Amino acid sequence: MSELITRPTFLSRGEADWYEEKLPRAIRPYNSNPLRTLAAVFLVVFFAALLGISSAYLVIEREQPLNAVTIGPWHAYPKAGTADADPYSVAIYTRGALVPLASGEGLALIARQDSSGHLLDPTCVYRIAGQTPTARLWTLTAQDGRGHLVETLPGRVHLASQSLLRDPEGNFQITAARNPHSGNWLPLAEKAKASDGLQFVLRLYDAPVTTGAALDGVSMPQIRRLACP
């Protein structure tokens, strides 16, 4: 009986089939399904858009512009109101209907914490003392945690530099509280709750410190908590 000669398997198949079978599974050619590919692309685009929108919303919801310069408890945003302001900061100001000071007008500094790092509480009493950078005029305003003006006992929410009592060296002491205090008194919200939040806004008008570099080494008032209910 003559021996049967078995024909090699690869000769009985197409060259492409043999090639694909011999390759490792990880690098074999993949015949994709068009619908599956379209669904995968849609999911990638959807989740990328969702991530981008969510991150932008969280930044804007914080209502704290980017590129802040920090000096003690005070934060300044020198690029606000300029052509160099980032899109998130522009969106924050637009959403809150806020008009930041232009670089030629002055600079606003915001404090949301005291000098010990505790969040400001509108039900507490604070002492704001020291000196400010040189300016033709400055004002100190008390606002709630979202930057809105509040109702106070005397009907005012700010102090101006020209009306302050100072010591011979030019230092001042301001008491921020709901009830009247002697000396320089900055009224806080009369019926505020701790959850309403509090922030102090110091606006320097016609001041040379309108850029981040100019703020290095300047003297800023300290904020001390004196008492809480």
Percent of the chain at pLDDT exceeding 90: 32
Reduced to 3 states (helix: H, G, I; strand: E, B; else coil), residue 43 is: helix
Residue 213 has pLDDT above 60, yes or no: no
Q: What does the domain layout of the chain look like in residue ranges?
A: 25-60, 65-227
CA 134, 135, 140, 141 torsion: positive or negative? Answer: negative
Cβ–Cβ under 8 Å, residues 173 and 129: yes
Cβ–Cβ under 8 Å, residues 197 and 146: yes
Cα distance between residue 72 and residue 217, in whole Å: 11
Residue-wise pLDDT for 59-118, tens only, equals: 555 556 666 678 889 988 776 656 666 665 656 555 555 666 666 678 888 899 999 999
Does 57 or 144 have the greater pLDDT score? Answer: 144
- Mapping DSSP onto H, E and C, the string for 109-177 reads EEECECCCCCECCCCCEEEEEECCCCCCEEEEEEECCCCCECCECCCCCEEEHHHCCECCCCCEEEEEE
Cα distance between residue 96 and residue 118, in whole Å: 25
Q: How many CA atoms lie within 13 A of 96 on its CB side?
A: 19
Indicate yes or no: pTM above 0.75. no
CATH code of the region 65-227: 2.60.120.600
pLDDT of 34: 76
Residue-wise pLDDT for 116-152, tens only, equals: 999 999 999 999 999 988 888 999 999 998 888 889 9
